[in-house]
Structure 1
Amino acid sequence: MYIDLILYNYLLIIGQVWCSSSNNNNSRRRIRIAASTSISQRASSHFSTSVVSLRSRTAQAYFGDNHFCTGCLLNDFFVLTSAKCVTSRGKVPRRPRELVVVAGSRSRLNRTRQTEKKAISFAAVHPNYIMFNSNDIALLKLTDPINEDYSFTDPAPDVLMPPPYGSKCIVMGWGRQFANGPLASRLSILEVQLLTPGHCRRYIPEMTEEMLCAISRNSTLPVGPCPGDTGGPLFCNDALIGIVSYTMGCSRANFPTVYTSVYYHHLWLEDLLDRGGQQRMKLAIGMLIWSYMMT
């Protein structure tokens, strides 16, 4: 557990250093090159319907100003996201009634006829994240299903495959447009390259097997997930491969972002979905005890 805490703090510090040292002139171009011509129009438009905004329950001044994380629809009831998005810094699970999911629109700020705002009935956080700061993944269950019409809300492709290292991938979210900048008003679609585990460890020696990393494919005008993109989906070869975990590559050249592998966790996810999102009793009790000890 001590080693895991060191890993968590190391990743957090590195992320803060890289983000705070971002060159704003390059970073401001993040949105401009988000819709790269090398990203197929079909892929970007199809995958974008599965991306949702995770928000605090009530907006402060206007619609959309309460966005803080991104997620991905697995089906009409379940959303996949980062465990960071549904726990406090002390690893205490947030109350579901404090959170809402907004789907059906690429715009963060505009409510349309297709916009759907859903409450969350409960969130299942991987027990290793609560206890050991690893396995940054969570499954949310909505109180009501997303519209089955699926015109503007279509779940992620139901394709399970190992990480295709070296492939061109896309990551989506409404994160900050550059380090310490404003959140994107429209969904950003960013092109990155998935690196091999060995290549990842050149940057981050503490990478574990359940982690992935991807880097900007454009060294001149770098792009990459920033705060607010956490929990967002990483799509490679028409499959959901990962979710944003540590945004250390926030609009930076030559440094990757860390993702949680969906394939690595597929048995955990399948078990949860089979149970309607409910954790096994022993795991649930263990998480409650740990949360109590940490408060």
Structure 2
Amino acid sequence: MFAIKKSFIILYLLSLCKRIFGTKSQNELFLSTLNGKIIGGHPVRIESFPFSVLFFNDGSVCSGVILNSLSLLTAAHCFQVNKNKEKMEIAIGSRYVHDYDAEIFEVLSIVIHEDYSKIMPFASDIALIFLKESIKFDEKKQRAVLVSNEDWMKCDNDEDWKKCKDQDNVVAVGWGWTKYGGSLSELGLLQTTLRYVPRQECEKLHGMRLAEDMFCLYGDAARDTCRGDSGGGVLWNGSVIGIVSHGNGCAKKDKPSVYISVYYHRQWIERQIKNFTKNYCKLKSLDSYNQEHKLEKLTIWML
């Protein structure tokens, strides 16, 4: 009897470990998708950036931004590996990649920008995730504030560029590796600072044109975001100005990483949330919906 009970416990633990850490092949896929994350950063608590979430998609990892109690913002290319919602999970309140204190949410629906990569690769690299259950906000889970103008772009002429060249005033956060292709950091969520690079300068450095919704940030080849941070927010004065999109490696000399402007896509974001709210309300009476999810939470905070 004891032997049977012991065998059952061992099998249960093995199945539990498989769910948490995956099989060997799943782990190899998971690790291959991280590729860098925040470089040159320092550890921070999730309470400092409570709008940041982890997006697990069939073995791959991205980040995201909380817009309201049911909606998240992320990058469109995070869905290239999989579009089956049953294989997606959102971890909110995580300080570490695998954090037992995180709250796990299931995905109800996704909306990928209809113009993603049509004009050029990574153009309109933006998407929305809608959750099955609403987020109960606390110190580890809060809505982001989206920027409502482009005043932060003050370096688009030669005179301004001289003033801004040494100003690292954009904050980026992510869960991650400390160098491209290196080992996974045990320090959890990391923060670093970057500076805005004018469009013409960035296009010159990359030898290509940027789409209208793209902008560049640089950290002197010492600080950067990377593929594992895709979909995560970057901030200026506490407001999210863009999400991580793509780059030529991580922290390469004279190779700024590229981000997608949330201000450029503000009307698209608002329209998709409005459509979701309208369709969601068809499934429930408006009164019960308001009581359960507090409809006012579905507005986006913009300054």
TM-score w.r.t. structure 2 length?
A: 0.67
Which ranges in structure 2 are unaligned for 5 or more consecutive residues? 1-35, 154-163, 280-303
Match of 1:34 among 41, 50, 67: 41
Helix, strand or coil at the partner of 1:184: strand
For residues 254 and 262 of structure 2, what CA distance do their matches in structure 1 show?
24
Deviation at 1:136, TM superposition (A): 0.4
Would you say 1:72 and 2:65 are equivalent positions? yes
Q: Which residue is equivalent to 1:211?
A: 214
CA distance in 2, matches of 1:209, 1:175: 29
CA distance in 2, matches of 1:94, 1:106: 26
Give 1:215 deviation, angstroms: 0.2
1:128–1:262 distance in 2 versus 1, CA, 3 Å: same
For 1:1-295, what aligned pairs fall within 5 Å after superposition? 33-35=40-42, 48-56=49-57, 66=59, 68-88=61-81, 94-112=83-101, 115-129=102-116, 131-132=118-119, 133=121, 134-148=123-137, 150-162=138-150, 164-165=152-153, 166=164, 168-185=169-186, 186-204=188-206, 205-216=208-219, 218=220, 222-248=222-248, 250-276=250-276
Matched AA of 2:63: T
CA contact (8 A) 2:214 2:260 kept: yes
**C-alpha contact 2:46 2:140 (8 A) present in aligned 1:** no
Contact 1:242 1:259 survives alignment (8 Å): yes
- The one-letter code matched in structure 2 to 1:152 is K
Equivalent pair of 1:170/1:189 in contact (CA under 8 Å): yes
Structure 1 residues 101 and 81: alpha-carbon distance in aligned structure 2, compared to 1, 3 A threshold: same
Q: 1:246 to 1:210 in 2, by over 3 A?
A: same
Pair 51,265 (structure 1): closer, same or farther in 2 beyond 3 Å: same
In structure 2, distance between residues paired with 1:259 and 1:158: 15
Q: Give per-residue Cα distances to partners, 1:120-146, cap 9 Å, x unaligned.
A: 111100011164442100010011111
Tell which deviates more after alignment, 69-78 or 181-190: 181-190
* Distance (Å, rounded) in 2 between the aligned partners of 1:99 and 1:267: 26
Secondary structure at 1:144 match in 2: coil
| Number of residue pairs matched by the alignment | 227
Q: Distance in 2 between matches of 1:176 and 1:84?
A: 20
| 1:249 CA displacement | 5.2
- Indicate the SS of the match to 1:228: helix
Do the aligned partners of residues 277 and 137 (structure 1) sit closer, same or farther apart at CA in structure 2, a change above 3 Å counting?
farther
Q: Tell me how far 1:161 sits from its aligned partner.
A: 2.2
CA contact (8 A) 2:46 2:93 kept: no
Contact 2:46 2:95 in 1 (8 A): no
8 A Cα contact 1:211 1:258, kept in partner: yes
How big is the alpha-carbon RMSD for the aligned residues of Structure 1 and Structure 2? 2.7
Residues 223 and 252 of structure 1 are in contact (CA less than 8 Å); yes or no, is this contact kept in structure 2? Answer: no
Check the 8 A contact 1:193/1:215 in 2, yes or no.
yes
In structure 2, what is the Cα distance between the partners aligned to 1:277 and 1:195?
Answer: 37
Amino acid at match of 1:85: C
Give, in angstroms, the shift of residue 163 of structure 1.
5.7
**Change in CA separation of 1:261 and 1:213 when aligned onto 2, cut-off 3 Å:** same
Equivalent in the alignment of 1:7:
none
Greater helix share, structure number: 2
CA distance in 2, matches of 1:163, 1:228: 28
Q: For residues 224 and 102 of structure 1, what CA distance do their matches in structure 2 show? A: 23
Task: Summarize deviations over 1:94-121 as a string: whole Å, max 9, x none.
Answer: 1112111101121112312xx1100111
| Residue 233 of structure 1, CA deviation | 0.8
Aligned equivalents of 1:175 and 1:246: distance in 2?
Answer: 16
Distance 1:45 1:271, change over 3 A: same
- Alignment TM-score, normalising by the size of structure 1: 0.69
Instruction: Summarize the Cα distance change of 1:249–1:156 in structure 2 as closer, same or farther, 3 Å threshold.
Output: farther
